[in-house]
Amino acid sequence: MKTFKLSNGIELPGIGYGTYLSTEGSKGDEAIRMALEAGYRYLDTASFYKNEEEVGKAVRESGIPREEIMTASKIWKTEMGYENTLKAFENSMERLGFDYLDVYLIHWPYNELSNADWKETIRETWTAMEKLYEEGKVKAIGVSNFLPHHLDVILNDCKIKPMVNQLELHVGYMQTVAVEYSKKHGIVIQAWSPLGRKRIMEEETVVKMAEKYKKSVAEFLLGFLYQQDIMVLPKASNMERIKENLLIDDFTIDDEDMKFLLCLPQIGWSGEHPDF
């Protein structure tokens, strides 16, 4: 499995486990424990997911040394601003029960329509993120759902560039401009909803392509991103699917099929856009 090196030298695994809705119902941290047992060593959570307690518990009780399991969390829109960010981080750390965090991201940018002071809010939030990084409380800092005009607010005025940008990316929704712009600035890309939250899994084109490569649809969709040097964060709830999603680096999509897939009309978009 390849790794993705951040601008500060830290290496992220090519695949992480997405925890959004993975702790719903009465099962608590069961899916996260299964993911660790299956071999995932990167967990993606957020204060918004309301499962940092379960993630922290699964990590602490796994028997795996803490430093071998990277954990990412995110600051929610309502937690932004300088002092708010520092407080939100402490709250997340308390829920996780950790003494440091591996990756901390701004979950969504504010924009002009929702907040007239959106640029100032992003700048203040980023200054707090830089402080947390410089104090060693978090090993890497980054953003999520930042398009080039949101990234510019930070890039034009920062000490430390974002190291990660986590975007909705899957066959049928590739946000090429945001991906290319981030990569140009040395930012590692992570894909959220890499399976399009199942919306694209029954698309005829995708099913046929997966058959051609003798892969399951999930493996094929994840391999498509991974081959483009995009870290994938699938969420699955049972051991079979959790393990299946790890089987993404034993095939290569040929150039012609890759171009075809990259030029498909939009399918499976979540409908979530940072500016609207």
Ligand X SMILES: NC(=O)c1ccc[n+]([C@@H]2O[C@H](COP(=O)([O-])OP(=O)(O)OC[C@H]3O[C@@H](n4cnc5c(N)ncnc54)[C@H](OP(=O)(O)O)[C@@H]3O)[C@@H](O)[C@H]2O)c1
Residues in the chain: 276
In sequence order, the β-bridge partners of residue 177 are none
Closest CA to 135 of 89, 166, 97: 89
Given the residues 17, 40, 49, 133, select the one marked as catalytic: 49
Best CA proximity match to 153, nearest among 187, 109, 189: 109
Smallest distance from ligand X to CB 76, Å: 10
Q: Rule CB under 6 A: choose which of 19, 73, 125, 165 binds ligand X.
A: 19
* Interaction of residue 244 with ligand X, rule CB under 6 A: yes
List, as one string, the DSSP characters of 44-108: E--GGGT-HHHHHHHHHTSSS-GGGSEEEEEE-GGG-SHHHHHHHHHHHHHHHT-SSEEEEEE-S
Contacts of 118 (CB under 8 A, 6+ apart): 109, 110, 111, 112, 153
Per-residue binding letters, 144-183, with ligand X (x by CB under 6 A):
xx--------------------x-----------------
Selected from 44, 52, 54, 102, the binder of ligand X by CB under 6 A is 44
Residue 20 falls in the annotated catalytic set: no
Q: Choose the stretch contacting ligand X; rule: CB under 6 A; options: 16-24, 109-117, 118-126, 247-255.
A: 16-24
From 196, 209, 225, 231, residue interacting with ligand X (rule: CB under 6 A): 196
Please identify every residue annotated as catalytic. 49
Interacting residues toward ligand X by CB under 6 A: 18-20, 44, 107, 144-145, 166, 192-198, 218, 233-238, 241, 244-245
